[in-house]
Amino acid sequence: MAGKILLFVLIVLASAFRVEAQPDFELRNIILRYDGTHELGTFAVVVCNHAIIPARDFEINLEANDTTITIVGERLNQGCMHFFDAESSFDVFGLQDGQTVTVTATLQDQTLQQDIVVDTLSHQGERSNPDMYEACMQSGSHADCYHLMFDTPTPDEIKVQSGSYFVITPIDHERLAAFYLFDLLQCSQNISEYFAVDAPPVIMRRLIISDGYSGSYAAVDDITTLNTDAGFRSMGANLPNWWNQINNGGCGDPHETTHIFVSETVLPGWLNEGLATFMEDTSRTNHHSPIPVRCLFDENKFATEYAGEVTFTNLMNDQFDPTVPSIYYYFSAACFWVYLEDQYGQETIQQIVQR
């Protein structure tokens, strides 16, 4: 009986002193956002919730050029997302193209302040054509498809921007935009530090809904990610895991970002793919996992656990033929770079890239 009474007392005390779980907010960044009704652009605030419990009905005060607006966030699950006021644009703040302004965001007891250059969006000139781009990609003429895409979103897309890095997504998948923007920023910084070179001045990533090829492709200063509508929705459902992978300066897609750094070289294509695969490693780019291959070294020779009789003509597999295991050769070429790093140090990789 005494034991039951003690248990009852402990339960009552625990209930009395229980602290209700609260969201764990972080103001991550202030970015620019554009869509068909915000051609001039507006400010958006990237907010993270590091708690499992969702955040609901919170307010962000945003001030710029002596004008303050209130941004209402209805819900934020674990992870991050950008929030904006659908009624505001740069003209509400009295801002003009090219003007530098100090922007301050406040959420509860947190304050974030950034100096931002206002970049208004022009819809003059040619528009991008995602449908023609997808058809071009599936034809196998990848390097020739780049001219079909521009940095102006179509009416069915939104654009988010930080500095000269930006992401364009279908409006139905806008929740993915902030993740891909931060991944560009962080991957670029990490790769720049490893190669000891300046980061590219401009990088764009565009998400396109596709009924065919699913994957990413890099050309010049542009990364294109194609997926089905269901595939993008699945990514949205897994956003908390994606954000966890790039928190604390992580890099989610070092492969395609490396191609932007090393887009035109005298190296054969398979070695370029090997270099991009080589950078998919925690120690080099703060990727969420080590390089997914075991490199074997014996008497100054290198190999991988993958072996086969695929001919040289199939190394690049430009047609994305699933019957050709070209990814094995991505790994073999990655081991070439691992061998150079292992034998001669990181400086050797830097010298090759810099030249």
Using DSSP's 3-state secondary structure scheme, residue 346 falls into helix
Q: Which pLDDT score, from 0 to 100, does residue 139 have?
A: 67
Query: Region 168-196: what's the mean pLDDT?
Result: 96
b/e map of 279-300 (b: 16 or more CB within 10 Å)? bbbeebbbbbeebebebeeeee
- Top pLDDT among 19 and 286 is at 286
- Checking if the pLDDT of 86 tops 60, the result is yes
- Checking if the pLDDT of 288 tops 50, the result is yes
Tens-digit pLDDT profile for residues 250-276: 999 999 999 999 876 667 777 888 899
Euclidean distance between CA atoms 303 and 13, whole angstroms:
64
- Cβ-Cβ contacts under 8 Å for 268 (sequence gap 6 or more): none
Q: What's the pTM value of the predicted model, to 2 decimals?
A: 0.82
Q: Which pLDDT score, from 0 to 100, does residue 304 have?
A: 53
Give the pairing of strands 165-170 and 203-209: parallel
Cβ–Cβ < 8 Å for 288, 334: no
Share of the chain above pLDDT 90, in %: 47
Euclidean distance between CA atoms 290 and 281, whole angstroms:
4
- Checking if the pLDDT of 123 tops 60, the result is no
Tens-digit pLDDT profile for residues 335-347: 889 889 988 999 9
Cβ–Cβ < 8 Å for 85, 66: no
Q: Which pLDDT score, from 0 to 100, does residue 263 have?
A: 77
Cβ–Cβ < 8 Å for 276, 301: no
Q: Which pLDDT score, from 0 to 100, does residue 303 have?
A: 54
Instruction: State the first-to-last Cα distance of the chain, in angstroms, to the nearest integer.
Output: 82
Q: Which pLDDT score, from 0 to 100, does residue 94 have?
A: 94
Domains and CATH numbers, the chain: 25-117 (2.60.40), 130-260 (3.40.390), 265-354 (no CATH)
Name which of 77, 86, 83 is nearest 60 in CA terms. 83
DSSP string, 11-24: HHHHHHHPPPP---
At 83, which helix (H) or strand (E)?
Answer: strand 79-83
Handedness of CA 291, 292, 294, 295 (dihedral sign): negative
Share of the chain above pLDDT 70, in %: 75
- Top pLDDT among 31 and 214 is at 31
Tens-digit pLDDT profile for residues 195-220: 999 999 999 999 999 887 788 888 78
